[in-house]
């Protein structure tokens, strides 16, 4: 049954599944469990405590924390009192958090660990609205106890008062599909963050669309490791509750592989960077393996690719191929699958372009990647692969309830029930992304042929060299990023004579290569400065970009000794490059790449 709002949904699923496991999570290096009934009681207790604080209909309440069980409990509780949930990325600075808290006039905020509490304390004297902070982590040192409260104490504050329980029931009855459910702030890759307003109807429309396209059941287990503050993981986690799945919550994104192997999920949404890192790890080990193992691996992968093609095209797998695949599975493919826990049925993937080559590798290995496309403004839902008949390298067909067209300049435009109501307090910005006839302008360029959508570039990222040639940086970055010795790439070329790049090596692979080839180094700074290392990358980059047009090829590059990070402000929570920030931060290095003609 499809409920009309998220508060009603969580209550209905709690009543249905009762003592079944709703959530698994790491605590003190051990997995703990929470039943649907236990989580439901905690949601109600949190909701009553919010009412005790006087949180009103339509009031904005913030969550500033990494993923943890309390995050989703607070989220559902906020919506259950007909308030609006405002997530703040856990990596946001105090200044970034203050912008959101001030614009949304937030009085009450949930925070995670010591770092988030300290950032809130830093901004508190300048905040015009913030009154109360609820702290999830019991280890946090509360330096302002007058306005701060620990999670357990907060839950107790609304308990036992029937007036709050009655008010909670009345609030929930008043929730309608058009009520605002959340304000999710975009990452601000090109300027000031904008709060995307999504209502309950946006999410229920996404559920209907995914029900028609995806094959999931209450027997599935989903791994949650992307930030819940990001629309992709948030919408997917809501959908998992809608379908009655158990959610296993990774304790930290850096620990995702061990968590996968311990929790052994059957589904998991992830951004392309996850698949690129798995691919890089596999091929790094392969490159250093004996020749006979490399042969066996490539043979098994070729067999897996033929089977994947037959299944994708809806054709039966011939008996001989089935036998060869069984051997390949036993000797090679199951080892790749074991990296992800050994039980994955499919991976929803979105958030950025994924190389067709890497997608086909996963399909051949028996790890089905369901590529999709969506934005925060479309509730993460525009299109995705069908179960069969999909085309690798594309993002599939539009889902039910969403229309797609290609507008001026090749821009993808969207209309449908998952599109936001607008940007919070920014009518001008809302008007800028809305066509005269009511379509949402995504800012992405693409093609739409035979009903299948392909993303070609982020329009605002397009660069034009001083020679007048247009360059799509994401294409180049994806092409070079296929190399398992490359971790990250940022392409430069706008108004320049030629294209250059900042390249972050995959240091685990590079350091192993350096040791194997007798290249001595004392630090990563020393390693990337070695002439032989530069020559090594020069050859690999040249090989990777041989199919690019001459004006698209990277002519010069600089190896960086550290990764781009959210903490340093170089990438967003969804792992997109903040190009303007990178250009400014590395201006001296970039200028040096053009200093010698």
The helices-and-strands tally (H runs, E runs) of the chain is 22, 25
pLDDT (0 to 100) of residue 597: 53
| Residue 188, pLDDT score | 58
Supply the mean pLDDT for the chain: 93
- What Å distances lie between residue 223 and 217, 246, 268, 507, CA to CA? 14, 9, 5, 27
Task: Judge whether 388 and 309 are in contact, CB under 8 Å.
Answer: no
The residue with greater pLDDT, 576 or 250, is 250
Give the pLDDT score at 468: 81
Map out the domains of the chain with their CATH numbers.
6-175 (3.40.50.980), 194-281+341-459 (3.40.50.12780), 462-593 (3.30.300.30)
pLDDT of residue 191: 61
- Averaged over 283-300, what is the pLDDT? 92
* CB of 297 closer than 8 Å to CB of 289: yes
Mapping DSSP onto H, E and C, the string for 294-358 reads: HHHHHHHHHHHHHHHHHHHCCCCCCHHHHHHHHHHHHHHHHHHHHHCCCCCCEEEECCCCCCHHH
- Region of poorest pLDDT, from 349-363, 464-478, 536-550: 464-478
Structure confidence by residue, pLDDT tens digits, 469-480: 878 888 899 899
pLDDT value for 390: 95
Output the pLDDT for position 596: 62
pTM of the model: 0.90
Structure tokens at 399: 């889902």
| Separation between Cα atoms, residue 593 and residue 597, nearest integer Å | 9
Whether residue 438 is predicted with pLDDT greater than 60 in this model: the reply is: yes
CA 243, CA 234: separation in Å to the nearest integer?
14
What is the C-alpha separation between 241 and 246, in angstroms, rounded? 8
For residue 329, give every residue at least 6 positions away whose Cβ sits within 8 Å of its Cβ, in sequence order, or none: 300, 304, 366
Q: Has residue 189 got a pLDDT over 70?
A: no
pLDDT in tens, 441-470: 999 999 999 999 999 888 888 887 888 887
Maximum C-alpha span of the chain: 77
Decide if 577 contacts 490 (C-beta within 8 A).
Answer: yes
- C-alpha distance from residue 134 to each of 131, 148, 516 (Å): 10, 6, 52
Whether the per-residue pLDDT at 243 is higher than 90: the answer is yes
pLDDT digits (tens, 9 = 90+) for 482-493: 899 999 999 999
pLDDT digits (tens, 9 = 90+) for 109-151: 999 999 999 999 999 888 889 999 999 999 999 987 778 999 9
Q: Specify whether the CB–CB gap between 459 and 409 falls below 8 A.
A: yes
**Mean pLDDT confidence for 311-335:** 96
Please say whether the beta carbons of 233 and 227 come within 8 A: yes
pLDDT of residue 574: 73
Residue range 31-52: mean pLDDT, rounded: 97
Task: Determine the average pLDDT of the residues in 270-282.
Answer: 91
| Percent of the chain scoring above 90 in pLDDT | 81
The CA distance from 526 to 513, in Å, is 15
First to last CA, the chain: 66
Half-sphere exposure of 424 (CA within 13 A, CB side): 25
* Interval 192-202 mean pLDDT: 95
Cα→Cα distances 42→72, 82, 152, 425, Å: 10, 17, 10, 33
């Amino acid at each position: 049954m499809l409920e009309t709002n998220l508060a009603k949904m969580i209550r209905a699923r709690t009543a249905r599944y009762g003592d079944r496991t709703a959530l698994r999570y790491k605590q003190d290096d051990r997995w703990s469990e929470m039943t649907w009934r236990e989580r439901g009681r905690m949601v109600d207790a949190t909701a009553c405590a919010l009412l005790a604080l006087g949180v009103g209909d339509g009031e904005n309440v913030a969550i500033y924390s990494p993923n943890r069980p309390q995050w989703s409990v607070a989220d559902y509780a906020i919506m259950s009192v007909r308030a609006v949930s405002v997530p703040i990325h856990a990596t946001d600075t105090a200044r970034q958090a203050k912008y959101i808290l001030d614009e949304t006039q937030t009085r009450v905020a949930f925070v995670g660990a010591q770092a988030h509490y300290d950032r809130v304390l830093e901004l508190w004297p300048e905040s015009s609205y913030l009154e109360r902070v609820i702290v999830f982590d019991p280890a946090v040192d509360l330096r302002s106890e007058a306005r701060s409260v620990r999670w357990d104490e907060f839950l107790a504050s609304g308990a036992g008062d029937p007036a709050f329980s009655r008010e909670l029931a009345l609030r929930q009855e008043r929730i309608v599909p058009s009520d605002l459910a959340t304000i999710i702030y975009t990452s601000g890759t090109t300027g000031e963050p904008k709060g995307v307003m999504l209502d309950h109807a946006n999410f229920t429309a996404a559920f209907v669309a995914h029900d028609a396209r995806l094959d999931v059941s209450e027997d599935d287990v989903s791994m949650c490791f992307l930030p819940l503050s990001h629309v992709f993981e948030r919408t997917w986690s809501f959908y998992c509750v809608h379908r009655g799945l158990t959610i296993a919550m990774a304790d930290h994104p850096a620990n995702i592989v061990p968590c996968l192997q311990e929790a052994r999920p059957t589904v998991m949404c992830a951004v392309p960077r996850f698949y690129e890192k798995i691919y890089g790890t596999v091929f790094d080990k392969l490159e250093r393996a004996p020749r006979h193992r490399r042969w066996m691996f490539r043979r098994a992968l070729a067999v897996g690719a033929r089977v994947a093609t037959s299944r994708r095209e809806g054709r039966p797998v011939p008996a001989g191929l089935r036998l060869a695949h069984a051997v390949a599975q036993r000797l090679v493919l199951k080892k790749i699958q074991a990296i992800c826990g050994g039980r994955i049925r499919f991976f929803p993937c979105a958030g950025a372009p994924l190389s067709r080559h890497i997608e086909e590798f996963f399909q051949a290995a028996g790890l089905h990647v369901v590529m999709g496309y969506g934005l925060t403004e479309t509730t993460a839902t525009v299109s995705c692969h069908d179960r069969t008949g999909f085309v690798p390298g594309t993002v599939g067909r539009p889902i039910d309830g969403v229309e797609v067209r290609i507008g001026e300049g090749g821009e993808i435009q969207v209309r449908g029930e998952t599109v936001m109501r607008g940007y919070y307090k920014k009518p001008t910005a809302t008007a800028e992304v809305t066509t005269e006839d009511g379509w949402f302008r995504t800012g992405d360029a693409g093609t739409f042929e035979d009903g299948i959508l392909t993303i070609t570039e982020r329009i605002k990222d397009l660069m034009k060299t001083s020679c007048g040639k247009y360059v799509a940086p994401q294409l180049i970055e994806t092409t070079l990023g296929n190399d398992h010795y490359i971790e990250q790439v940022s392409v430069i070329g706008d108004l320049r004579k030629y294209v250059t790049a900042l390249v972050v090596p995959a240091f685990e692979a590079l350091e192993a290569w350096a040791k194997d080839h007798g290249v001595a180094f004392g630090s990563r700074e020393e390693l990337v400065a070695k002439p032989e290392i530069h020559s090594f990358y020069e050859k690999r980059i040249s090989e990777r970009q041989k199919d690019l047009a001459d004006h698209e090829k990277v002519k010069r590059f600089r190896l960086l000794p550290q990764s781009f990070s959210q903490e340093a402000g170089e990438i967003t929570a969804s792992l997109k490059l903040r190009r303007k920030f990178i250009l400014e931060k590395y201006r001296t290095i970039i200028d040096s790449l053009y200093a010698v003609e």
